[in-house]
């Protein structure tokens, strides 16, 4: 009986995890909607220097941009529309580079409407 209870708990706990994986493509360069004050993040310093971004937004405001299967998708960084992709940025390091420019490092998590999840370290900047 005890073994059955333990097995049931493990089965329930493993069923709660999302096994769906979301893959994001890189956004090469700056889309015209992102020129001006914006935040732009890559998965590494090297990809940042090469302008291969994983996420961009208008300084925390809509629209944010991700690339799913080659399509640029507009997202709301404030996650007001729960039927759309959900964006979470956890800033772990922030350094002010000048009056209007901040370097940021942290973790980006994107959740698709179907529950698939993409998580990556990010390296980027926000500024005007």
| Cis status of the peptide bond prior to 95, with omega within 30 of 0 | no
How do the domains of the chain map onto residue ranges? Answer: 20-127
| 59-76 confidence digits (pLDDT tens) | 988 899 999 999 999 999
Encode 55-94 in three state secondary structure: EEEECCEEEEEEEECCEEEEECCCCCCCCCCEEEEEEEEE
CA nearest 115: which of 39, 15, 10? 15
| 65-112 confidence digits (pLDDT tens) | 999 999 999 999 999 988 899 999 999 999 999 999 999 999 999 999
Tell me the pLDDT of the chain averaged across its residues: 88
Contact 30, 41 (CB under 8 A): no
């Amino acid at each position: 009986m005890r073994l059955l209870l333990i097995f049931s708990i493990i089965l329930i706990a493993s069923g709660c995890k999302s096994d769906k994986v979301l893959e994001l493509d890189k956004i090469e360069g700056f889309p015209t909607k992102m020129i001006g004050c914006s935040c732009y993040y890559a998965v590494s310093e090297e990809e940042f220097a090469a302008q291969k971004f994983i996420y961009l937004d208008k300084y925390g405001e809509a629209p944010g941009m991700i690339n799913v299967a080659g399509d640029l998708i507009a997202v709301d960084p404030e996650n007001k529309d729960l039927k759309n992709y959900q964006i979470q940025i956890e800033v772990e390091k922030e350094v002010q580079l000048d009056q209007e420019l901040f370097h940021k490092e942290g973790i980006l998590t994107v959740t698709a409407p179907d529950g698939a999840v993409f998580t990556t370290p990010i390296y980027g900047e926000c500024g005007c």
